[in-house]
Copies of this chain bind each other. A is one copy, B any other.
Amino acid sequence: MASGGDDVQVISNKQVILKDYVVGLLKDTDMYMSTNATIRLKVPEGSNGIVVKNLYIACDPYNLVRMKFSEKPGSPVTGFGVAKVLDSGNPNFKKGDLVWGTTGWEEYSLITDLQDIIKIQHTDVPLSYYTGILGMPGMTAYAGFYEICSPKKGEHVFISSASGAVGQLVGQFAKLLGCYVVGSAGSKEKVDLLKNKFKFDEAFNYKEESDLDAALKRYFPEGIDIYYENVGGKMLDAVLLNMRVHGRIAVCGMISQYNLDKPEGVHNLLHLIYKRVRIEGFVVTDYYHLYTKFLDLVLPHIAEGKIVYVEDIVEGLENATSSTNWDIFWPQCW
């Protein structure tokens, strides 16, 4: 820690640096912790950015996609986080404000692109929730389910990667609406979580199913109205065989495909015609204007315990570089 010539604090800033674009699965050597950087805890003259102390950073499946294609190697990883404003050159934010949005995997960040930085107004929930249920994953669940799928009471809903940050919420939204809800996940523990904690009607471990079509027919003898798609590939192919007339598929992610050199082929798209099915890909940022509406829906449900949320939290920025720790988060989703 040192003081700048203009009497502004310049401080050491630990950072998680991406070495190069990730190829295949994440390795321990893809990122490293740097203690070389410093940061001036003051917004530069004329900038309308903010300087923040990062409190939580999210490890979302989305981060791996960024690390493969759109991050800047040699720079700190970026992603969603919760932070406290230390200094602001922007009239919308002031010192002491809590915010969530895209920040850096570092102790402190200067954020100049404030487009997706949202001020936290409700602090009677765990702040970490703003990386999850009240942040990007929550809005993703909300937009994909309500806006893309136009769900109706009594409809049959299937969610893949259902115990992930997004899936667990989609299932609970669907249950609150009076839908029949089934989720798939990749372990017995996650299946138990889905059935016992999140109160899905049914759940299954896709790794134990040699025939996904048969598994879906077992849980959806009358077919699927809504599929919340997180995985792609073989699961999508099996789902297409089981959609009902006028079914809807919200494509949130295809996590089974990101690590493949060539994505798997999906063969059953003819069923889009036979069953008049709509598939729609979406990104959550197109729906940020609905954030207040979303909070109005979800905050009371949290307060009343009608929606529960399970997080895995690891303390310490240095742990973010470890693929072992990443395994804590990611397999949760798939």
Contacts and interface: CB of A to CB of B under 8 A. Distances in A.
Interface of A: 232, 236, 251-254, 257-258, 262-283, 286
Contact of A263 (B251, B270, B286): B270
Contact of A269 (B254, B278, B282): B254
- Copies, count: 2
Contact of A267 (B262, B274, B276, B279): B262
A272 B279 contact: yes
B269 A232 contact: yes
Identify the 6 closest CB pairs spanning chains A and B, nearest first: A265-B265, A272-B281, A273-B281, A278-B280, A279-B279, A263-B267
Nearest to A272: B281
Given A232-B269, A265-B267, A280 B283 contact: no
Nearest to A277: B281
Query: DSSP majority for the A interface?
Result: loop
B269 A267 contact: no
B273 A268 contact: no
A283 B277 CA distance: 10
B282 A276 contact: yes
Contact of A266 (B257, B266, B274, B275): B266
A170 to B, nearest CB: 16
A236 to B, nearest CB: 7
A268 B279 contact: no
A33 to B, nearest CB: 31
Contacts of A236: 269
27 contacts: A251-B269, A251-B272, A253-B273, A254-B270, A257-B270, A262-B267, A263-B267, A263-B268, A263-B270, A264-B265, A264-B267, A265-B265, A265-B266, A265-B267, A266-B266, A266-B269, A271-B281, A272-B279, A272-B280, A272-B281, A273-B283, A276-B281, A276-B282, A276-B286, A277-B281, A278-B278, A278-B280
